[in-house]
Amino acid sequence: MNQIINKVGTYNFSAEPFHCDFSNRIMPGHLGNQMLNASDYHSDERGYGIRYLNTINKTWVLSRLCIEMEQFPKAYTQYTISTWVDKVMHSFTTRNFDVLSSDGTPLGYGRSIWALIDTETRQPFEIAKVNNGVIQQFVETTRPCPIAEPDRVRITQPTTLALQLKACYSDVDINGHVNSIKYVEHALDLFDLSWYRQHQLKRIDIAYVAESHEGDQLNFYKASLGNEEFAIKVVRFDKTAQTEKECVRIKVKFVKE
């Protein structure tokens, strides 16, 4: 835990071997959840985390996330995730991340947009009204985050149904809805091991449109965008009405190894 006074929070993690994939690198989904954990620790230590927000019927909802990696941490190595809020606008914040190896080498970066909402009305809530606007003390505008902003992920290409699943116990996190990163894990499972043997995940953009919950049928539609880039649309299928509701749009960019 870092000094509460800093604008940037830095957290130490281990790339434990049994959280690594076949290539001895940390599972992208595991890294994504560690970024969410870092976000939560950072806001919690500064008086505007979900633990406090839940006591006043508010919460953070992730609206967009992108992660761009030079390399994923390797098994048995240590790494840090630093995170800071660089902008606050009414009910939205933008939060950035960097991932460094233990010797300080940048491994990758992240950017995210979060909305503060009222858990009863599900409407946006003004951040300045939380804990006397404490967040303003911790806005960090100078630390660089040298990757592009999170893409809105417009999918105009024709897609094909690639996966259908029912959201289960292990999909649901502490917030009671399908975990933001679980969509990513399922999306990355649309590519087989032979693909991962020749390609490294370079960047992922996720636009969160609507929540889903345990028992929901989720359909994953996939389109190739060329150049090792793919779009994946996740929709919630309503069996009774036979309608689909868009939940998440994902863009993944690979590079050849």
Per CB under 8 A, residues contacting its own copies are 16-22, 24, 27, 29, 33-34, 36-37, 40, 44, 50-51, 75-76, 168-170, 172-174, 176, 179, 181, 185, 188-189, 191-193, 196, 214-215
Minimum distance between the CB of residue 141 and its own copies, rounded to whole angstroms? 26
Q: Is 218 left (phi over 0), alpha (psi -120 to 50) or beta?
A: beta
Q: Which residue lies nearer to its own copies by CB, 49 or 139?
A: 49
Q: Which residue lies nearer to its own copies by CB, 50 or 209?
A: 50
Q: Which residue lies nearer to its own copies by CB, 80 or 128?
A: 80
Minimum distance between the CB of residue 200 and its own copies, rounded to whole angstroms? 13
DSSP string covering 82-129: EEEEEEEETTEEEEEEEEEETTS-EEEEEEEEEEEEETTT--B--GGG
Q: Which residue lies nearer to its own copies by CB, 39 or 94?
A: 39
Closest CA to 233 of 254, 252, 213, 255: 252
Rounded Cα distance, 142 and 145, in Å: 9
Helix (H, G, I), strand (E, B) or coil at 151: coil
Q: Which residue lies nearer to its own copies by CB, 185 or 244?
A: 185
Q: Which residue lies nearer to its own copies by CB, 40 or 118?
A: 40
Minimum distance between the CB of residue 70 and its own copies, rounded to whole angstroms? 21
First to last CA, the chain: 36
Minimum distance between the CB of residue 22 and its own copies, rounded to whole angstroms? 5
Q: Which residue lies nearer to its own copies by CB, 18 or 142?
A: 18
Minimum distance between the CB of residue 79 and its own copies, rounded to whole angstroms? 14
Structure tokens at 89: 């606008």
Minimum distance between the CB of residue 185 and its own copies, rounded to whole angstroms? 5
Which stretches within the chain are classed as H helix?
28-45, 50-55, 180-188, 193-198
Q: Are 166 and 118 contacting, i.e. CB atoms less than 8 angstroms apart?
A: no
Check the CA dihedral 139-141-147-152 and report its sign. positive
Minimum distance between the CB of residue 170 and its own copies, rounded to whole angstroms? 5
In Å, how far from its chain's centre is CA 210?
14
